[in-house]
Structure 1
Amino acid sequence: MRSVLLAAIAGLALAPSAAYAWGQTAHAVIDRAAIEAIPADGPVFLRKYEDYVAASATQPDAWRGDSENFSKIEEDPNHGWFREQFTFVKPIPRSRYEFVLALYKHYEKIKDSDPATAARTNVRWTGTLPYAAIEAYDRIVVCMRQVRAAQAEGRDASVPEQNCAFDVFRLGHYIGDGANPMHDSVNSDGWRGANPHGYTTDRTVHGRFESKFVDGIALTVADIAPRIGAPGREQGDMFDAVLAYLDQSGNKMEAVYKLEKRAGFADFTDKDVREMVYERTSAGAAMLRDMLCRAWAESAAPPAKVVPSPLDFTNPKFNPETGSAPD
């Protein structure tokens, strides 16, 4: 097992560099803090894979290279949720493909009357982050059931555990991205549109906040661990919880721009910028920890029997446009 993990980490070190979100530092800190905050009745087996998950924390960004365009087209939208771009979609569909269709229908409606807006009415410029997160979450529930089954039967659980660890770093990346307010707004890479307060339009603002400043303060797990708190989100709908989490983060977007006006994130002693980083990364770690614990709890029960199947034409929620019923 150790040799497998070391080989994986070595492979990551040799991989081509990519434009990272939060940066390796913050993503790894969020993942480590989440795993270390798992309580004794949670999926503690993940602690064996903490180094692997942390080393893989920015791997989803490596799937966005221009030279691997099939992967890029699928993966790029998973890292953002630009809420201003789809205010016309209410409620948010519980299906990735219904969301895509809603965007396309609006695009068709406005493409002639408002071509500039239409050009950004698509998944690349709206994002699909909550769908990527909940899809990874569902896969984690499945592999955790397999871990439990192996444990109950006295079998080696290492393979399903490794499968879980893979999807944990995927989920961790999307939740980590969502913790950064700049991933939850059209102003992700510099202020767009009307700008009465004179916020920066420099595209480097994103990296100066989430990478340069984070590295400059040498963020560690110890900085945020006391802020994570006790597990929560044991009840309620997880997709709704993800949407609420992204809204809470996105509501802090302008505060980030206000902080940038001070010193362009170049002053690593700035207590307010530090507080923003600590608060947002601890929120990401808490959300990830809560999702992992909730997945572990759900995995204790057998999968629900859905009758008729989501693919059955007789399912009352069946949508012929997508060929399936939403969750």
Structure 2
Amino acid sequence: MNLSPRRARGLAAAIAMAITLAAGPALGWGHRGHAVIDRTAVESLPADGPVFLRNYIGLIEDSATLPDDWRDDATPFSKMEEDPNHGWFQEQFAFLKPIPRSRFEFILALEKEQQRLAAAHSPEAVRTNVRWTGTLPYALVEVYGHLVTGFRSYRERQTHGEDTAHIETACAMYVAWMGHYVGDGAQPLHVTIHHNGWQGPDPKDYTRDPKIHSRMESGFVDAINLTDQDLLRRVPAVNPLDGDVFDAVLAYLSKSGDSVEKVYQLDKRGAWTDPKDTEARALIYQRTAAGATMLRDLVYRAWRESALPRTPHVPGPTDSANPAYNPETGSAPADPSPSLR
């Protein structure tokens, strides 16, 4: 078959897109990266935090990549629900400001934009949907809420002299669950459309190889034998995160995105296959320490929030009397986090 140069380029682009679509959103750090982030976070909790979690470090480490198992093709309902929770491809929803304080409002906004783009015959319509934008911050703050509730139950059982072993285990699982999303958010390739190779115009000739993701986060991390000792000295003193949790999470993800090009620059000179490369090591230490710090701070914040009196918003988020209630979603966006002061 003889193709003109223009048609050949178009066919090559279509093939590249098909390969990327088939690959799907990438997994997060390998088990070592996630486990080290979680261990470091728990180890660096201050004395007035939920230090009982240190008794469950083994469980938390073992469960660090459990949310990736929920993305198995053999369990399609689980996979469809879970896949978007591991990414936040910010370029895909640059049109959306501010980011809604509701998973359902976010999905609804994407649907309306997708319909607009499709009506204009824009190729962008194909990826303007929840699977190709991600829902990572929503998954993270949703599990954060579970952890606050778990800690509150722990406190109540302690007050009444009841056994706390089972609720302690539940809290440890919530930490591992939330920790996975925090860890994914620390990986720059989880917050960009360039998660599995460079997409679109490529004037700097970055690789389009989807294996860049695993070269960095699994191959290199395993090769340097990353441990908690590498991170503990890089984790600063606890930040109480007195402001809004959702805003803090969005800022954290945006900061992670600042390192996307650095990942590709290092790959271009083969750094991710050289465990002695000091610049590549420095980036891994920086990003995993950032993940451990954020997880530690969120756990500490959840612990302190669990000590506050329960003051639910009245009317609640699913009450149609709520001034912010949206009949299209059946709910109102979440209120800002309560102050710890």
| TM-score between the two structures when normalised by the length of structure 1 | 0.93
Residue 215 of structure 1: which of 213, 219, 222 is its match?
222
Question: 1:256 aligned to 2:263?
Answer: yes
**Deviation for aligned residue 1:302:** 2.5
Other-structure match for 1:225: 232
| Identity of matched residues, % | 53
Inter-partner Cα distance in structure 2 for 1:295 and 1:262? 42
Superposed displacement of residue 49, structure 1: 0.9
> For 1:153-302, what aligned pairs fall within 5 Å after superposition?
153-263=160-270, 265-302=272-309
Which blocks of at least 5 consecutive residues in structure 1 are unaligned?
Answer: 1-18
- Encode CA deviations 1:138-175: one digit per residue, 9 max, x unaligned: 10000000001111111101121111111111100000
1:145 aligns with 2:177: no
Task: Give 1:30's aligned residue.
Answer: 37
- The more displaced of 33-42 and 256-265 is 256-265
- Partners of 1:233 and 1:262 in 2: how far apart? 40
CA distance in 2, matches of 1:112, 1:163: 47
Q: CA deviation at 1:115?
A: 4.2
Whether 1:108 and 2:115 are equivalent positions in the alignment is yes
- The CA distance in 2 between the partners of 1:54 and 1:213, in whole Å, is 19
Q: Secondary structure at the match of 1:67?
A: coil
Distance 2:256 2:240 in 1: 17
**Which string of whole-angstrom CA distances, capped at 9 and with x for unpartnered residues, describes residues 54-92 of structure 1?**
011001000001111100010000000000000111100
Q: Deviations over 1:109-164 (max 9, x none)?
A: 11132442111001110000000000010100000000011111111011211111
Letter in 1 for 2:258: N
The structural deviation recorded for 1:233 is 3.8
Task: Name the CA distance, whole Å, in 2 between partners of 1:251 and 1:234.
Answer: 21
1:305 aligns with 2:312: yes
Matching residue within 47, 58, 71 for 2:54 = 47
The alignment status of 1:130 with 2:137, answered yes or no, reads yes
Equivalent position of 1:14 in the other structure = none
Amino acid at match of 1:63: W
Contact 2:324-2:332 within 8 A present in 1 as well: yes
Structure 2 residue corresponding to 1:21, chosen from 28, 51, 54? 28
Distance 1:167 1:198 in 2: 41
Q: In the alignment, residue 94 of structure 2 is paired with which amino acid?
A: T
One-letter code aligned to 2:56: Y
The answer as to whether partners of 1:80 and 1:177 remain within 8 angstroms in 2 is yes
Is the 8 Å Cα contact of residues 83 and 126 (structure 1) preserved in structure 2?
yes
Query: What residue identity is the alignment partner of 1:170?
Result: W
Structure 2 unpaired stretches of 5+:
1-25, 335-341
- Partner-residue secondary structure (3-state), 1:265: helix
Q: For the residues of structure 2 that align with 1:84 and 1:109, how far apart are their CA atoms?
A: 17
Q: Which of 72, 76, 98 is the equivalent residue of 2:79?
A: 72
Partner of 1:13: none
Deviation at 1:306, TM superposition (A): 1.4
Spell out, residue by residue over 1:154-202, the C-alpha distance to the aligned partner (whole angstroms, 9 max, x if none).
1101121111111111100000000000000000000000100000000
SS at match of 1:248: helix
Kept in 1: contact 2:271–2:277 (CA 8 A): no
Deviation for aligned residue 1:20: 4.2
CA RMSD, 1 decimal: 1.0
**Count of aligned positions:** 309
Partners in 1 of 2:104 and 2:317 — Cα distance? Answer: 14
Letter in 1 for 2:76: N
The SS at the match of 1:311 is: coil
Q: CA separation of 1:20/1:92 partners in 2, compared to 1, >3 Å: closer, same or farther?
A: closer
- In structure 2, what residue type is equivalent to 1:102? A
1:264 shift after superposition:
5.1
